[in-house]
Structure 1
């Protein structure tokens, strides 16, 4: 018996050599650092903390970022998504935390109330994670693609602000700032173009190092703070005192974490797309549990609410280094930075314009991932155009005009204060309104109008509706013989009668025309646009090797038992896991039962194809209920 070779791990789970882990991890830290420390800087200035308190907050933030990133990327038990996702303090919490701190009197007194709300909100997030994970069906590509695109676009102004000098001293007219930003970007692009392998994967790191070196030569990068910083700075639990608990503050922070959960879900889907790994309900649940645990730890260790950092999602896409252990290495570096203020001072010396140049490449790449996800959306359905257009438009309104949040009541400013938050909630809400609710309307407005259908010739009718059934326009022709159609129910009955009253041999021939689930021919478009759209709705056209083997084994077992392919209405199943589970369960059925089940699944598929066919057509309702769906 030939020796079986060990299966190569998925790139996400691959443990790289120590040298590469160190270099790639440090690259993540450099790309992440500025965003990591901005929240404590903003909060300290707003509630009146001293410089000494601020230094402790930054060290605590970096230390806890490292712990949180290791929890998320390495994972244990049912905590951590086990994807290359770095954790950082969420910007969504800045305004609510400032409000909480000021309401409690500011200073360290306000900080203690903030920490009380952070601890409780983290525990609440941990507990509700499974319930949020069950909502994954409300995140189809039209939602996840919109959210990922919005994340990338909303982060670009942050990169642009760094490129002109940073928030403390922006100088758009400074030619040196522009030169550093464009020079860093040019180095990254040149390395990506000229090199392959290791050099291409560290392009961002090389760009940051070269940009900082040039700025140092020209006197624009200073390392004075390194000599002034202490060698060791250990953050201790409850450094500022025991946390104080306020009901109003806790409710506010729980709302923040619920909103952050939406952003985390988008980041998880984005990373899953990049690393080509299936993301399911359990993945979202584990990611949110990690957010909750990290947030609670943050409250104990003098830090703040944590979420997946979208900034580093772009770095994963740009470098194509998919190993989650790189993020674990980055987490270890951040723990060291949190314990060694001198090391943090070295990283902090990277000039803002240099960071901005690198960030432009990374954040734009996140937007590209969103566009890739949206490429699987059927934009012939006008509802999807409205969902994407409205959510992106509102997100850009808040991003371009952040002061618009002042036009809404204080309780709504948490939503209008972030383009990512507003855009994400809009995409989710509109998807629910358009795709998960049913309106009661007059029949002429909400179902198929049949005047033109009844005037069609047989050839026109078959040409129009022939795609409802795979490779079998004869069935549609048989439905044509039942004209005139008095109402949509009559038309529905005609298609159903044509399918279910066909001779047994003809039904078997029809079943044989349907392709195997997850087959390469479907992904390559050889089985037609309809099959690709059907199976693509649950990601069966982009399976990893392991998943493809599972579907191939199931298809072979099913064909051997019943003599025809496994037919499942993938759009109703919703996920790869459910399709596999349903197929395996049906293997236990009798041949007669499976013959009937296959006909029912064909009818469901035809119903979806009819809805695709008539969506937005003149004189035809966009939610035609031909098969009673």
Structure 2
């Protein structure tokens, strides 16, 4: 592991700031990732037709476990945790597979798959860190792009009001007004806001859009008054987990994709804070993802990975202390213990979420395009790799029932455009480019 000290001075990563600054900078990280953190439980709850109470519980459990995962990654113990300023959140790569598992086998099968996939990630981490050469930038950039594209239909349905497209009320003028006024606010804040304000453009858009909806009588906050001020997150609230082989395999594949995402973020943060990441550090980082995902399954939450938007926040603020992000973890745990906060989030109209989601998911596509812009496409087969991988990922996006005649175990994997496209990118890279030389992560 890299030394934490240079001479007699403390490395900026290990610098302990005054409590007031830890809180202010930590809160900034939380606000930058909050909208993305609560998006996944909202998507899953709506797809599973859960009750408002269950949605509130999911959001609380998610925030609570986000905090635990962030503390594990930043503070670390034994051989777990990269000990760098890396905030953790739910990966969007798991959304579609979780919904498919839940619809096919029930919500307890989701948590059974998450628990076993978390354990798999924890134990495979040392070996995976040696296989990074199979995931060059062309593959990771393609995967990030696919994630954003396959999530866009979610925001489109939100814009329409969240109901069935065949409903007479779908995409009525009021829904469209709220969606696009929210999107306009996000764009204006992102364009004209400075630093911290610009970083929370999505959150500001959600707040303003919800206020406008409230003024227009399009949202109801009665559930907030009925919610408790304080709640304890209990394990297995939806019942003891069940284990379906196809579901577990699907979630393991998701975690392999997550490990690729985490690797890129870990290396990027290491470069920004001046702490080079070697295989040993990477293995510790991936173990933290695995342990956090296991804990997420126990506490009715989801798989965890680094939040990319916070990587950019570190670069902008130049605050490198991992204890700042550990402070974010404590704030997230506190937010998870107050159901009224989750109730407020649950009252956000679907159309408002759609406007913000269009920008949020679009930014994921933009991040993938930015990653691909650094890839060499001359004199190689990378263009074909990207084209075919994205094309195959679109199969179930255009025809959701395309694989309906396949066995159930296969459908869990094939019906996720993210999983199918990611596997295609890895396989095509091996076929077209070969294994290649040593990857981006060198042995220390």
**Greater radius of gyration (CA):** 1
User: 1:63 — aligned with what?
Assistant: 64
Provide the aligned C-alpha RMSD in A: 3.7
Confirm or deny that 1:253 pairs with 2:255. no
The alignment partner of 2:304 has SS state of strand
* TM-score normalised over the length of structure 2: 0.80
Confirm or deny that 1:313 pairs with 2:296. no
* Cα shift at 1:305: 4.4
Unpaired runs of 5+ residues, structure 2, are: 1-6
| Aligned equivalent of 2:440, options 560, 565, 575 | 575
User: 1:229 — aligned with what?
Assistant: 227
* Cα shift at 1:226: 0.5
| Aligned equivalent of 1:21, options 26, 37, 41 | 26
Count of matched residue pairs: 424
Q: Is the 8 A contact 1:146 1:427 kept in 2?
A: yes
Correspondences of 1:603-614 after superposition (within 5 Å): none
The alignment partner of 2:194 has SS state of coil
The alignment partner of 1:308 has SS state of strand
| Aligned equivalent of 1:411, options 401, 409, 412 | 409
Q: Is the 8 A contact 1:201 1:321 kept in 2?
A: no
Q: Is the 8 A contact 1:74 1:325 kept in 2?
A: yes
* Cα shift at 1:267: 5.0
* Cα shift at 1:400: 3.2
User: 2:418 — aligned with what?
Assistant: 420
Confirm or deny that 1:9 pairs with 2:12. yes
Confirm or deny that 1:33 pairs with 2:29. no
The change in CA–CA distance for 1:121 and 1:17 in structure 2 (over 3 A counts) is: closer
Confirm or deny that 1:390 pairs with 2:385. no
User: 2:81 — aligned with what?
Assistant: 80
The change in CA–CA distance for 1:258 and 1:335 in structure 2 (over 3 A counts) is: same
The alignment partner of 1:173 has SS state of coil
The alignment partner of 1:87 has SS state of strand
User: 1:95 — aligned with what?
Assistant: 100
* Cα shift at 1:424: 0.8
Q: What is the distance in 2 between the residues matched to 1:119 and 1:5?
A: 43
Q: What is the distance in 1 between the residues matched to 2:189 and 2:15?
A: 24
Deviates more, 1:393-402 or 1:415-424: 393-402
Q: What is the distance in 2 between the residues matched to 1:188 and 1:11?
A: 34
Unpaired runs of 5+ residues, structure 1, are: 102-109, 438-570, 582-629
Q: Is the 8 A contact 2:145 2:368 kept in 1?
A: yes
| Aligned equivalent of 1:153, options 145, 149, 160 | 149
Correspondences of 1:180-259 after superposition (within 5 Å): 180-239=178-237, 243=240, 249=244, 252-259=247-254
* Cα shift at 1:436: 2.0
| Aligned equivalent of 2:354, options 353, 356, 369 | 356
User: 1:535 — aligned with what?
Assistant: none
Q: What is the distance in 2 between the residues matched to 1:153 and 1:375?
A: 17
| Aligned equivalent of 2:376, options 368, 373, 378 | 378
Deviates more, 1:181-190 or 1:282-291: 282-291
The change in CA–CA distance for 1:279 and 1:395 in structure 2 (over 3 A counts) is: farther
User: 1:501 — aligned with what?
Assistant: none
Q: Is the 8 A contact 2:56 2:342 kept in 1?
A: no
* Cα shift at 1:430: 0.4
Q: What is the distance in 1 between the residues matched to 2:35 and 2:14?
A: 23
User: 2:4 — aligned with what?
Assistant: none
The change in CA–CA distance for 1:283 and 1:295 in structure 2 (over 3 A counts) is: same
User: 1:164 — aligned with what?
Assistant: 160
Confirm or deny that 1:265 pairs with 2:260. yes
1:148-187 Cα shifts (integer Å, max 9, x gaps): 2212222222222222223578855322222222222222
Q: What is the distance in 2 between the residues matched to 1:163 and 1:12?
A: 44
Q: Is the 8 A contact 2:245 2:409 kept in 1?
A: no
Q: Is the 8 A contact 1:37 1:61 kept in 2?
A: no
Q: What is the distance in 2 between the residues matched to 1:154 and 1:13?
A: 41
The change in CA–CA distance for 1:144 and 1:222 in structure 2 (over 3 A counts) is: same
Q: What is the distance in 1 between the residues matched to 2:355 and 2:224?
A: 24
User: 1:367 — aligned with what?
Assistant: 365
Q: Is the 8 A contact 1:314 1:366 kept in 2?
A: no
User: 2:136 — aligned with what?
Assistant: 140
Q: What is the distance in 1 between the residues matched to 2:178 and 2:26?
A: 28
User: 1:625 — aligned with what?
Assistant: none
The one of the two structures with greater contact order (alpha-carbon pairs below 8 A, sep at least 6) is: 2
